[in-house]
Amino acid sequence: GAGVSQSPSNKVTEKGKDVELRCDPISGHTALYWYRQSLGQGLEFLIYFQGNSAPDKSGLPSDRFSAERTGGSVSTLTIQRTQQEDSAVYLCASSLEDTRTDTQYFGPGTRLTVL
């Protein structure tokens, strides 16, 4: 079946612009996660959604970052007023449930470059 898809695969933007990154999870998966992979910080959790519950935003690095998930499926991560330190690969993952034992399946990522 189809895996997790993300778009765009690459995004180059200028400092100060807003960007939107999209994630399509595996059909039927109720949990959706966003992570960031950067050279300096490694892989870090940003935010996750489970069903209709309020999202866990505990990993968002600043209030310039936000995310939403519409209809329990597609998710969009928005970064406002991008900074150079936002340059990273943004990964989306989904899993059947949000328990500690569930396997997360990752998308190919969006490489964001802020000039």
Partner 1 sequence: GNSVTQMEGPVTLSEEAFLTINCTYTATGYPSLFWYVQYPGEGLQLLLKATKADDKGSNKGFEATYRKETTSFHLEKGSVQVSDSAVYFCALSYQGGKLIFGQGTELSVKP
Residues engaged in binding partner 1 (CB under 8 A): 31, 33, 35, 42-45, 48, 50, 56, 59, 91, 93, 95, 97-109
Q: Cα(5)–Cα(84) distance, rounded to whole angstroms?
A: 25
Nearer to partner 1, 82 or 95 (CB): 95
72 close to 91: Cβ distance less than 8 angstroms: no
Q: Is 109 helix (H, G, I), strand (E, B) or coil?
A: coil
Nearer Cβ to partner 1, position 70 or 103? 103
The answer for residues whose C-beta is within 8 angstroms of residue 103's C-beta and 6 or more apart is 95
d(CA 73, CA 12): 26
Least distance from partner 1 to the Cβ atom of residue 102, Å? 6
> In the complex, what is the shortest distance from the CB of residue 18 to partner 1, in angstroms, rounded to a whole number?
25
Q: Which is nearer to partner 1, 79 or 91 (CB)?
A: 91
Give min distance, CB of 105 to partner 1, in A. 8
